[in-house]
């Protein structure tokens, strides 16, 4: 399980300034139905963290542990637009930059406790377990929408 505080520690050590409670679990969005089917069987999840000046992805390995590396950095200054749309049980996040269009899929918070994002984002708070993906979902999506509106 990926602890949110561990994400922040990894990012701070890499020189980033993570913004508290703007962290969710994502995958790269598949391009078509065939890719959706094969993607279903892969556990290629990432922690999607909004930082002071950029969005950063940290990979999660097969044992649900964080890798101490940054897989992708998207500076806010390069973002032209952000769009979030619903796709069945997921939200698709489309980010258009100066050079690319990058699509991610994030499992919706309502079923997160029963899906991979909830399993990966569970952490203990005393005797209680919490799911930081679910807790951070709305605020993270709203912050993304405010980054840049499509022209």
Domains of the chain: total: 1
E strand segments, the chain? 18-28, 46-51, 54-59, 72-75, 79-87, 90-97, 101-107, 122-125, 128-131
β partners of residue 106: 91
88 inside domain: yes
pTM attached to this predicted model: 0.80
103 inside domain: yes
Q: At a CB cut-off of 8 Å and minimum separation 6, what does 65 contact?
A: 2
In tens, the pLDDT along 3-35 reads 667 777 888 888 999 999 999 989 888 665 665
69 inside domain: yes
61 inside domain: yes
pLDDT for the residue numbered 30: 66
80 inside domain: yes
Under 8 Å between Cβ of 107 and 133: yes
Under 8 Å between Cβ of 105 and 91: yes
CATH number at residue 73: 2.30.29.30
In tens, the pLDDT along 43-88 reads 678 889 999 999 999 888 654 455 666 778 999 999 999 999 988 8
73 inside domain: yes
Q: Name the strand (E) or helix (H) holding 45.
A: none
151 inside domain: no
The domain in which residue 78 lies consists of 4-146
d(CA 11, CA 125): 22
pLDDT for the residue numbered 26: 92
Structure tokens at 3: 């602890």
């Amino acid at each position: 399980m990926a602890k949110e505080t561990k994400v922040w520690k990894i990012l701070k050590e890499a020189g980033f300034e993570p913004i508290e409670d703007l962290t969710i679990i994502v995958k790269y969005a598949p391009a078509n139905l065939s890719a959706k089917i094969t993607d279903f069987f892969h556990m290629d999840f990432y922690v999607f963290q909004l930082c002071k000046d950029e969005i950063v992805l940290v990979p999660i390995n097969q044992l649900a542990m964080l890798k101490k590396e940054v897989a992708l950095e998207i500076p806010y200054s390069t973002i032209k637009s952000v769009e979030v749309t619903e796709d069945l049980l997921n939200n698709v996040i489309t980010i258009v930059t100066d050079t690319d269009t990058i699509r991610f899929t994030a499992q919706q918070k309502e079923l997160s406790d029963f899906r991979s994002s909830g399993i990966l984002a569970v952490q203990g708070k005393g005797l209680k377990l919490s799911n930081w993906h679910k807790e951070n979902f709305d605020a993270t999506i709203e912050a993304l929408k405010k980054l840049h509106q499509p022209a």
